[in-house]
């Protein structure tokens, strides 16, 4: 089994950061600053957003995960979004559910690309989250993914594609990841145990 190690990312201000990604030992991280910030509105979003972190980990991309609520911690949101670019983040993945303002508010406060993940809500199965995130008026874009796990995984893959434009080694890892996925699809269905 592949051994993982915790990569402690050090911010430009020299502060050790927590909740960083685990990467396989044989992968080298090119930057000491995590390029991807994963934010979510609540602890209850973590089960979904963990799928984004798992995908980044599989691709050797460092991340930092934080709870930032547009409703309950608006000042934390403001402080995070206003400093995200200076901190060295390059992409923000934001997951939120219900009246999901987090991705749009974040995008309004930073020039970094923001990818939104609609969390599957109990009341409306995530359709509320989807509409809240996807229907941004012209001028402030949020790249919106699918509801739930698929959206979290794809947000990470989309982030990887963007970062791979300037990172040949990552581009190779992403291509290998896709080849592995393709190879895993049988030509014919079979009974599952
Ligand atoms: C949103 O409210 C969060 O993103 C979460 O999806 C939803 C419910 O939050 P909890 O009541 O479970 O904390 O802000």
pLDDT at residue 116, rounded to an integer: 99
Question: Which residue in the block uniquely carries the two structure tokens 């996925």?
Answer: 181
CA atoms within 13 A on the CB side of 129: 27
pLDDT at residue 2, rounded to an integer: 33
Q: pLDDT tens, 88-144?
A: 999 999 999 999 999 999 999 999 999 999 999 999 999 999 999 999 999 999 999
Q: Which residues pair with 67 in a beta bridge?
A: 40
Contacts of 74 (CB under 8 A, 6+ apart): none
Q: Is 118 in the pocket of ligand 1 (CB under 6 A)?
A: no
- Look at residue 45 and give its three-state secondary structure: helix
Q: pLDDT tens, 134-166?
A: 999 999 999 999 999 999 999 999 999 999 999
Q: Whose CA is nearest to atom 14 of ligand 1?
A: 41
Give the Å distance between the CA of 156 and the centre of ligand 1. Answer: 21
Neighbours of 135 (CB within 10 A): 10
Which of 75, 108, 107, 68 has the alpha carbon at shortest distance from 91? Answer: 107
pLDDT at residue 192, rounded to an integer: 87
Which of 32, 38, 69 has the alpha carbon at shortest distance from 53? Answer: 38
Q: Give the residue-averaged pLDDT of 165-184.
A: 98
Confidence of residue 18 (pLDDT cuts 50, 70, 90): very low
Using the predicted structure, report yes or no on whether residue 15 has a pLDDT greater than 60. Answer: no
Q: pLDDT tens, 33-92?
A: 799 999 999 999 999 999 999 999 999 999 999 999 999 999 999 999 999 999 999 999
Give the Å distance between the CA of 54 and the centre of ligand 1. Answer: 21
Percent of all residues in the chain with a pLDDT value above 90, rounded to a whole number: 82
pTM across the whole model = 0.86
pLDDT at residue 19, rounded to an integer: 47
């Amino acid at each position: 089994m592949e051994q993982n190690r915790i990569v402690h990312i050090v911010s430009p201000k020299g502060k050790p950061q927590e909740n960083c990604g685990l990467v396989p030992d044989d992968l080298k991280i090119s930057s000491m600053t995590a390029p991807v910030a994963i934010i979510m509105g609540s602890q209850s979003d973590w089960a979904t957003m963990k799928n984004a972190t798992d995908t980044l980990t599989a691709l050797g991309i460092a991340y930092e995960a934080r709870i930032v609520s547009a409703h309950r911690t608006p000042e934390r949101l403001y402080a995070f979004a206003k400093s995200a670019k200076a901190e060295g983040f390059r992409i923000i993945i934001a997951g939120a559910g219900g009246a999901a303002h987090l991705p749009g508010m974040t995008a309004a406060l930073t020039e970094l690309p923001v990818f939104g993940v609609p969390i599957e809500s109990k009341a409306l199965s995530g359709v509320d989250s989807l509409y809240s995130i996807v229907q941004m008026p012209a001028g402030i874009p949020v790249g919106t993914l699918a509801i739930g796990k698929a959206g979290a995984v794809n947000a990470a893959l989309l982030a990887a594609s963007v970062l791979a434009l300037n990172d040949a080694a990552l581009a190779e890892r992403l291509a290998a990841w896709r080849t592995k996925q393709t190879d895993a699809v049988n030509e014919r269905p079979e009974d599952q145990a």
